[in-house]
Chain A
Amino acid sequence: MAGAEKPMFAMDGNDVPFEPGQTILQAALAAGRYVPHLCFHPEFKPHGSCKLCTVKINGRTVASCTTLAKQGDEVESETPEIQDLRRNLVQFLFVEGNHFCPSCEKSGSCMLQAVAYDLGVMAEHFSPFFPSRPIDASHPDVLLDFNRCILCELCIRASAEVDGKNVFALSGRGAKKHLIVNAESGRLADTRLAVEDKAMDVCPVGVILRKRRGFQVPIGERKYDQHPIREVAVGKATARHASGKPSPQGPSKEGA
C-alpha cells in the first residue's frame, strides 16, 4: 500500500478514504463523518442489529456497519429519506421500552437520547407499548433496569468475548425479545459480574448502572449535554484508532 493512492468512496458527495477491509461506517467515522449508530462499538465486531446506520449504496439500503467499503461506491447517508428511516427506528426503540429520561441516571450520557436529539425526534409518534419490565437490584454493586434496553447486545458480547462470563443473553422472539440474566435464578446477584467487567461500560442506554454513583456528574454537565453525539462519536473513533488498531489516516476532526 505504501505510496499508493487510498481507495475512496463518496458519501453524500464527499470523498471518504478507506483501508481495504474497513466497513463504510468505520471509514466514515475515521474520516470525521458521523453516521448515526447504536449497536456498533469500535472495539467490537459489527453486529448490524439496530439498523440505525442504514445508508443507501447504489440504490440499495444496507447497514453501513456490516458493509465493506468499495472503491467508487456512491453512498447516501444524510438524505431526507434515510434520515426519516432513522428517525422512525429511534421512535420504535422509544415506544418499545420505558424511557423516562428525567428519572434516568444515564440521561445526558445516553446514546439513544443523543441520537434522538441529532435526528430531531420531536415526539415518539407511535403508540407507546409501556411494557412491564421489573428491575433487578439483587447485585450488591450493580442495578439492572431492563426498561431501557434496546437489544444492541453489547453487554452480551462484552461479557462473553471480553469478560468470558456470559452474564447476559436474549430470550424470546420478535416483540417479546428481551434481555435476561444468564443464571438459573435469573438474578444478577447469582452471576460472576463484577464492576470492573467490560460489560459494565458498554451499555449505550441506562440498563447497567453502578450503584451509589447516581448524579455524581450533574445533569447538564454530562457527555452529550456538552457535545452533540456527532462530534463525540467522531472524536472517539479517531482516538481509538490512534491507539493500536490499523490507522485509517482519515483527517482528524478533533479541534477542527
Chain B
Amino acid sequence: MTAIDPAPVTRRPRVATAWLGGCSGCHMSFLDMDERLIELAGKIDLVYSPIADVKVFPADVDVTLVEGAVTNDENEHAARTIRRNSRFVVSFGDCATAGNVTAMRNRFTREELLQLAYVDLARGEIPTIPNDTTLAKLLVRARPLHEFVPVDAFLHGCPPSADEIWLAVSALVEGRKLELPAAYQRYG
C-alpha cells in the first residue's frame, strides 16, 4: 500500500477520524466494522471523531483517517491542524484521495452553485443564500487532501469496505506497514 512505515507506537495508540467535505459514507463504513469495533475499542483511544464528542482536534495523535475532500476554508484549516498533530495521516476514501463526488461541483463557480442550491431550487421559503460570517466559505474548487498537506497512505473506495478499514487500522495501530491485498484497490 505504501512504503512509509508508521511511527512505532509504544503506548496505547491515539487514533482520530475526521470528516471534511464528504457524505460521511466512509464513516458509515467504519461503523460497518460492527463487532470488530469492540475489539478495536479495546486496543486504541479514539481521541477525536464525528462519533466522539470532542470539539478540538487534540495534539499527539498517532493515526488519523481523514474522510472527504477539502472544499471550504474550515476543511483547509482542519487539514493543517490534523497534519500538524498526527504522526500518520490517511486519506480515507475516494473524496479525500481524488476529490470524487465532492469535486463534481468544480465545473460551476461558487456563485452559480449557491444560487442553484439556495435560490433556484428553493421551495416554500424565502430564498436566501446563507451569508453568516461564522459559516465556512467554499474554496474556489474542492480538492484532494494531499493538495494541502502531505498524506502517508490512501484508502480507496466510495466508501472503502469495512474489511479494508479493519485491515488498515489494525496494521497502523500495531505499527505494521500498511500493505493491503491488491483486491482492495478499487476506485469507486
Contacts and interface: CB of A to CB of B under 8 A. Distances in A.
Interface of A: 94, 98-104, 107, 113, 116-117, 120, 122-125, 127-128, 130-132, 219, 225, 228
B99 A123 contact: no
- Top 10 nearest A-B pairs (CB, nearest first) are A101-B188, A102-B158, A102-B188, A101-B187, A130-B106, A132-B107, A122-B154, A107-B188, A123-B154, A117-B185
A116 B101 CA distance: 19
Interface in B73-119: 91, 94, 97-101, 103-104, 106-107
Contacts of A94: 98
Given A120-B185, A122-B2, A130-B103, 5 more contacts: A100-B100, A101-B94, A123-B97, A124-B98, A128-B98
For A107, A124, A128, A131, which residue has the most chain B Cβ atoms within 10 angstroms? A128
A225 B101 CA distance: 21
B38 interface: no
A122 B1 CA distance: 8
A100 B185 CA distance: 15
B40 interface: no
Contacts of A107: 187-188
B12 interface: no
Interface string B160-188: 00000000000000000000001001111
A98 B107 CA distance: 10
A104 B99 contact: no
B141 interface: yes
B5 to A, nearest CB: 16
Contacts of A100: 100-101, 103-104, 188
A123 B103 contact: no
B98 A123 contact: yes
Contacts of A125: 146
Nearest to A121: B185
A102 B99 CA distance: 12
Contact of A102 (B1, B91, B94): B94
A100 B144 CA distance: 13
B99 A130 contact: yes
B1 A113 contact: no
B22 to A, nearest CB: 12
Contacts of B103: 98, 100, 128, 130
Contacts of A124: 98, 144
B107 A128 contact: no
B27 interface: no
A108 B162 CA distance: 20
B120 interface: no
B151 A101 contact: no
Contact of B188 (A122, A128, A131, A219): A219
Contacts of A228: 182
B45 interface: no
Contacts of A123: 91, 97-98, 144, 146, 151, 154
12 contacts: A98-B107, A100-B188, A103-B104, A104-B188, A107-B187, A116-B187, A117-B186, A122-B2, A124-B98, A128-B144, A130-B141, A225-B186
A127 B154 CA distance: 16
Contacts of B107: 98, 130-132
Given A117-B186, A123-B91, A123-B151, A128 B104 contact: no
B14 interface: no
Contacts of A102: 94, 100-101, 158, 187-188
